[in-house]
C-alpha cells in the first residue's frame, strides 16, 4: 500500500483498533465459551449470561404465547407500525405502569422500542450534545458505556456501595456533576448486583438529582422481579420531585427476551421534559430507527391485561429458591465472598480473593480456567467495571446451579494456595 493511502485508512480508524472499542458481555462470554474443553462429557453450565428462557422452569406463560398467536392470525398487524408504537399497546403499557404510580401516565408518555436495549439507545441519543456527560453506576450493565462511546457521549462513574446493599453513593454523584451533566442512570432491580432499592433510598436519589438539576434515567427491565425484603418501587413514583425517564421491557418479567418489546416512558407529571424539548428529540430518534414487530405490539394489551399473578409468583418463587442456593454455596467457597444476598433480578456479584489462589492472575484468568477445566461459564467483573469480581447468574434450573457450584468449589480447592 502506498504510504499516503495507508495514512488515509488510518485516518478513518481502519489501520488500528478503535481505541474506544469496549468490552461487551457477549464478546467476553464468547471468549470464555471458546476455552471450554470440547471433550468434557459433562454438560456446559452457563452461569454467565442473563437469559433463563431455555430452561423448562422458566418458560413463559401460555397467555403470552396465545396473545402473540391471536395477533398474528388476526391479519391486523402486518403493516408497518407508527413510529412511537400502536396506540392500544401504548395505552396498555401506560395503564400497566400507572398501577404502581401516584399519578396516571398518558399513552403519549409511552414510546415502544425494540427491547429495553433500544430504549437505552434512544435515551442516550436524545440526551447527547457537544460536551454533555451522563453519570453511570459502577458496576454497570456495560451497554450504557459502549453505546455512549459510540456516539461520543462522555460517561462518568459514581460508586455503588457493596456494604450497603449496593446503594448509590450520593456524595460521589455530587462530586462528579458539573454544568454539562444531563442525567444519572440507575438500574433497579440491579444488574449486575441483584440489589433492590428501598423507597427511602430512591427518594434520596430523586432529591439529590433535583438539587443538581439533572434528570434520572431508570432502567427497570427487572421490574417486579424481587424476592427479598424490599418490594419493587418504580423511580417514577418520585417523578414530581425530579423528571424521570423509565426504561423497561417484557423481556425479563415475561421471560421472552427474543420477542424484542420494550418501552421508554416519560415519568414526569409536571411536564418539565416536554417543555425542555427532550420529548421531541426522542421522537426524532425514533423516526430514524426501526420498530418492534407490529404483531408483537398487537399482542401487548392481551399480554399485560391477562397474565395472572400465578405466573409471576411462580417465577419469583423459583428465583428466590435459586438465589438462596447460590448464596449458601458461595459461603462454602473460601476464595469468593458475597457482600449482599441477591434480592432481585437474576445476578449476584462476588469478590474474588486472589491471595487464596495459587496460579490465577485475575478475574478473566479465573473464568477462562474455570471454563476450560469445569465447563462452567461465569462473567468476569471487568465486563461490568469491577476487576477481580465475578458476576454469577442464578436464573437457571436449580439442579444446574447446584452442579455449577459443586464444580466451582472443586476448581477453587484445586487451585488453592498450599499452606
Ligand atoms: C437485559 C437487560 C437489558 C436489555 O433488555 P432487552 O429488553 O432484552 O433489550 C437492559 N438493561 C439491563 C440492565 C438488562 O439486564
3-state secondary structure 252-300: CCCCCHHHCCEEEEEECCCCHHHHHCHHHHHHHHHHCCCCCCHHHHHHH
Ligand 1 binding pocket includes 220 (Cβ within 6 Å):
no
Claim to verify: residue 352 and residue 299 sit in the same structural domain: no
Of the given ranges (40-54, 179-193, 232-246), which has the lowest mean pLDDT? 40-54
Asked if residue 1 is part of any domain, the answer here is no
Asked if residue 101 is part of any domain, the answer here is yes
Claim to verify: residue 146 and residue 179 sit in the same structural domain: yes
Asked if residue 351 is part of any domain, the answer here is yes
* Residue range 384-403: mean pLDDT, rounded: 96
For residue 245, the enclosing domain spans 62-306
Claim to verify: residue 214 and residue 92 sit in the same structural domain: yes
Counting Cβ atoms within 10 Å, is residue 14 exposed (0-12), middle (13-18) or buried (19+)? Answer: exposed
Claim to verify: residue 246 and residue 138 sit in the same structural domain: yes
Grade residue 8 by pLDDT with cuts at 50, 70 and 90.
low
Say if residue 106's pLDDT is above 50: yes
* Number of domains within the chain: 2
Look at ligand 1, atom 15, and give the residue with the nearest C-alpha.
191
Ligand 1 binding pocket includes 218 (Cβ within 6 Å):
no
Say if residue 184's pLDDT is above 70: yes
CA dihedral 137, 143, 145, 148 (to 10 degrees): -130
- Domain with residue 257: its CATH number is 3.40.640.10
pLDDT at 26: 84
Asked if residue 370 is part of any domain, the answer here is yes
Mutate to test the pocket of ligand 1, among 221, 223, 246, 256 (most ligand atoms within 8 A of CB): 221
Claim to verify: residue 292 and residue 160 sit in the same structural domain: yes
SS3 75: coil
**Maximum pairwise Cα distance, the chain:** 70
Ligand 1 closest atom vs CA 191: 13
* Residue range 21-27: mean pLDDT, rounded: 71
Ligand 1 binding pocket includes 141 (Cβ within 6 Å):
yes
* Last residue in a domain, options 275, 306, 337: 306
Grade residue 25 by pLDDT with cuts at 50, 70 and 90.
confident
271: left (phi over 0), alpha (psi -120 to 50) or beta: left
pLDDT at 20: 43
Going from the Cα of 247 to the center of ligand 1, the distance in angstroms, rounded, reads: 9
Ligand 1 binding pocket includes 187 (Cβ within 6 Å):
yes
Claim to verify: residue 329 and residue 409 sit in the same structural domain: yes
Ligand 1 closest atom vs CA 261: 7
Say if residue 86's pLDDT is above 50: yes
Going from the Cα of 275 to the center of ligand 1, the distance in angstroms, rounded, reads: 29
* Last residue in a domain, options 271, 306, 341: 306
* Last residue in a domain, options 306, 335, 350: 306
Claim to verify: residue 88 and residue 74 sit in the same structural domain: yes
Claim to verify: residue 111 and residue 233 sit in the same structural domain: yes
First and final CA of the chain: distance in angstroms?
58
pLDDT, averaged across the chain: 94
325: left (phi over 0), alpha (psi -120 to 50) or beta: alpha
Going from the Cα of 254 to the center of ligand 1, the distance in angstroms, rounded, reads: 13
pLDDT at 28: 87
Q: What is the pLDDT of residues 352-378, one digit of tens each?
A: 999 999 999 999 999 999 999 999 999
Going from the Cα of 253 to the center of ligand 1, the distance in angstroms, rounded, reads: 11
Claim to verify: residue 32 and residue 44 sit in the same structural domain: yes
Going from the Cα of 61 to the center of ligand 1, the distance in angstroms, rounded, reads: 20
Claim to verify: residue 50 and residue 79 sit in the same structural domain: no
What is the C-alpha separation between 84 and 88, in angstroms, rounded? Answer: 11
Ligand 1 closest atom vs CA 257: 8
Amino acid at each position: 500500500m502506498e504510504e499516503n493511502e495507508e495514512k488515509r485508512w488510518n485516518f478513518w480508524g481502519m489501520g488500528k483498533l478503535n481505541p474506544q472499542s469496549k468490552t461487551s458481555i457477549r464478546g467476553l462470554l464468547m471468549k470464555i465459551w471458546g476455552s471450554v474443553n470440547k471433550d468434557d462429557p459433562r454438560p456446559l453450565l452457563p452461569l454467565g449470561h442473563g437469559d433463563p428462557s431455555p430452561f423448562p422452569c422458566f418458560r413463559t406463560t401460555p397467555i403470552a404465547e396465545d396473545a402473540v398467536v391471536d395477533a398474528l392470525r388476526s391479519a391486523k398487524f402486518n403493516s408497518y407500525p407508527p413510529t412511537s408504537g400502536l396506540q392500544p399497546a401504548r395505552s396498555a403499557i401506560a395503564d400497566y405502569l400507572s398501577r404502581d404510580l401516584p399519578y396516571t401516565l398518558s399513552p403519549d408518555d409511552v414510546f415502544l422500542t425494540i427491547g429495553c436495549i433500544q430504549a437505552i439507545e434512544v435515551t442516550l441519543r436524545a440526551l447527547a450534545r457537544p460536551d454533555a456527560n451522563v453519570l453511570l453506576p459502577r458496576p454497570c450493565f456495560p451497554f450504557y458505556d459502549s453505546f455512549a462511546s459510540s456516539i461520543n457521549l462522555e460517561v462518568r462513574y459514581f460508586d455503588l456501595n457493596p456494604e450497603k446493599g449496593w446503594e448509590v453513593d450520593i456524595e460521589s454523584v455530587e462530586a462528579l456533576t458539573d454544568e454539562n451533566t444531563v442525567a444519572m442512570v440507575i438500574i433497579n432491580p440491579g444488574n449486575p448486583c441483584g440489589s433492590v432499592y428501598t423507597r427511602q433510598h430512591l427518594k434520596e436519589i430523586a432529591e439529590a438529582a433535583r438539587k443538581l438539576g439533572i434528570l434520572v434515567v431508570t432502567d427497570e427491565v427487572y421490574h417486579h422481579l424481587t424476592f427479598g425484603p424490599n418490594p419493587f418501587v418504580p423511580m417514577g413514583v418520585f417523578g414530581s420531585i425530579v423528571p424521570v425517564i423509565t426504561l423497561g421491557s417484557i423481556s425479563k418479567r415475561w421471560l421472552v427476551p427474543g420477542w424484542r418489546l420494550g418501552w421508554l416512558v416519560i415519568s414526569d407529571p409536571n411536564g418539565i421534559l416536554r417543555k425542555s424539548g427532550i420529548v421531541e428529540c426522542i421522537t426524532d430518534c425514533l423516526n430514524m430507527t426501526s420498530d418492534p414487530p407490529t404483531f408483537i405490539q398487537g399482542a401487548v394489551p392481551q399480554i399485560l391485561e391477562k397474565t395472572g399473578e400465578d405466573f409471576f409468583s411462580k417465577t419469583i418463587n423459583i428465583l428466590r429458591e435459586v438465589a438462596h442456593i447460590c448464596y449458601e454455596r458461595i459461603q462454602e467457597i473460601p476464595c469468593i465472598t458475597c457482600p449482599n444476598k441477591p434480592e432481585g433480578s437474576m445476578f449476584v456479584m462476588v469478590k474474588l480473593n486472589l491471595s487464596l489462589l495459587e496460579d490465577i492472575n485475575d478475574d478473566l484468568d479465573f473464568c477462562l480456567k474455570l471454563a476450560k477445566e469445569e465447563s462452567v461459564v461465569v462473567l468476569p467483573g471487568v465486563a461490568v467495571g469491577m476487576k477481580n469480581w465475578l458476576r454469577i447468574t442464578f436464573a437457571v434450573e436449580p439442579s444446574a446451579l447446584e452442579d455449577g457450584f459443586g464444580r466451582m468449589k472443586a476448581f477453587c480447592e484445586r487451585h488453592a494456595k498450599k499452606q
